[in-house]
Amino acid sequence: MASQLRMKSQLEGREIKISEATIERQCDREFFDSIKEKSREYEAILSMACGAGVQFTAEVLEPMAVIPALNTRFIGVAVQEGTWSERCRACGNCVLADYGGICPMTICAKSLVNGPCGGSKNGKCEAGQEKDCAWVLIYNRLKRQNRLDKLKALALPSVKDYSKQTHPGTHTNEAYLKPKMEEKSA
């Protein structure tokens, strides 16, 4: 990216100082130690992290301008060169273990967690005939795993705890909570 920016600025006849530095993660404060001083020499930082990394970089390096180099759309996987498929919405109440590793919140157009809608036909979603029905995928996966009994448990009235979907969310590892609880009781 830095090379492309240098070439572009030269082609436009503009002289811009472009340097590059890479840190392992842009979502943990300690990784910024190696670039914090150097970053003050520049007007802006171009971040190639996801949206969370860009926001955290802007917070850690404030008042530096941080410009995102990509557009985070979803949490997904590469299915072929240049094509990605969304697989997770980070909803905070993961049901993948019960659904054969397929997320109905993400894969189903209606985010149905209790089974297919009445509109699916021949294994395809009513939202588009090129889209597989998430529930057919779930059923077939559980069948191949010899775990169709998992579907019976889905008849519960409340399979999904929507209260866990707080945005923006905060999560504290349980290991960090216990010492604080013990301090309060002492």
Higher pLDDT, 69 or 181: 69
**Mean pLDDT computed over every residue of the chain:** 83
**Contacts for 83 with CB less than 8 Å, ≥ 6 apart:** none
pTM, two decimal places: 0.61
**Contacts for 55 with CB less than 8 Å, ≥ 6 apart:** none
Where are the alpha helices (H) located in 126-173, listed in sequence order? 134-144, 149-153
Q: Are 133 and 116 in contact (CB under 8 A)?
A: yes
Predicted local confidence at residue 186, as pLDDT: 54
- Taking the alpha carbons of 93, 99, 100, 104 in that order, is the dihedral positive or negative? negative
| Model confidence at 161: pLDDT above 70 | no
Q: Give the C-alpha separation, 95 to 115, whole Å.
A: 13
Domain boundaries, the chain: 2-68, 92-157
Higher pLDDT, 61 or 153: 61
Higher pLDDT, 31 or 51: 31
Residue 157's pLDDT band (boundaries 50, 70, 90)? very low
Over residues 104-145, the pLDDT tens digits come to 988 999 988 888 899 999 999 999 888 999 999 999 999 999
| Model confidence at 154: pLDDT above 90 | no
